[in-house]
């Protein structure tokens, strides 16, 4: 699921839904992914979760950059529009490394993406 999706959408659901939501949030916190997590907030279903998230961030249990992945809307059309407009934030654990070519022309460079993510 993680490797084949561009985003995740959660509708109101049971404990299994909450478990999947928290798994994706945890993976984002661990820098395993930086994909948006859409919440279809029908009848304010996710208001309590959003309040919890804000409280945990305010008390420094969750870094604030994780909240940027959550996109919340009351209608499906609104949520899809917001997901399409989503721009991923740079992951602080990866960066672009400039490396000159060994062809004698030091003015040219090739960019390498160096992934420093720790995966256990």
pLDDT digits (tens, 9 = 90+) for 46-56: 999 999 999 99
Task: Provide the residue range defining the domain that includes 62.
Answer: 8-88
Q: Which residue has the higher pLDDT, 23 or 97?
A: 23
With residue 95 as reference, give the H or E element that holds it: strand 94-100
Mean pLDDT of the chain: 82
Joined together, the tokens standing for residue 91 give 């992951």
Task: Provide Rg for the chain, Cα atoms.
Answer: 18
Counting the structural domains of the chain, the total is: 1
Q: How many CB atoms lie within 10 A of CB 32?
A: 15
Tokens of 89: 């934030």
Q: What is the tens place of the pLDDT at every residue in 71-101?
A: 999 999 999 999 999 987 765 555 444 445 5
117 domain residue, yes or no: no
Strands (E), 36-91: 37-40, 70-73
Q: How far is CA 113 from the centre of its chain?
A: 19
Tell me if residue 104 falls in helix, strand or coil.
coil
Percent of the chain with pLDDT over 90: 54
In this structure, is residue 53 part of a structural domain? Answer: yes
Cβ neighbours, 10 Å, residue 74: 14
Q: What span, in angstroms and rounded, lies between the C-alpha atoms of 68 and 86?
A: 10
Asked if the structure places residue 107 within a domain, the reply is no
Tell me if 112 is assigned to some domain: no
Determine, yes or no, domain membership for 110.
no
Whether the predicted pLDDT of 60 surpasses 80: yes
CA 50, 56, 58, 64 dihedral sign is: negative
């Amino acid at each position: 699921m993680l490797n084949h999706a561009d985003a995740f959408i959660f509708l109101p659901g049971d404990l299994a839904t909450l478990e999947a939501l928290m798994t994706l949030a945890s993976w984002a916190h661990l820098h395993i992914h930086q994909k948006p997590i859409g919440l279809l907030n029908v009848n304010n279903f996710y208001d309590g979760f959003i309040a919890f998230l804000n409280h945990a961030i305010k008390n420094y249990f969750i870094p604030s950059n994780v909240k940027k992945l959550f996109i919340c809307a009351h209608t499906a059309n609104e949520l899809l529009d917001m997901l399409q407009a989503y721009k991923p934030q740079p992951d602080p654990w990866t960066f672009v490394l400039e490396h000159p070519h060994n062809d004698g022309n030091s003015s040219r460079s090739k960019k390498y993406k160096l992934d420093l993510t720790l995966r256990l």
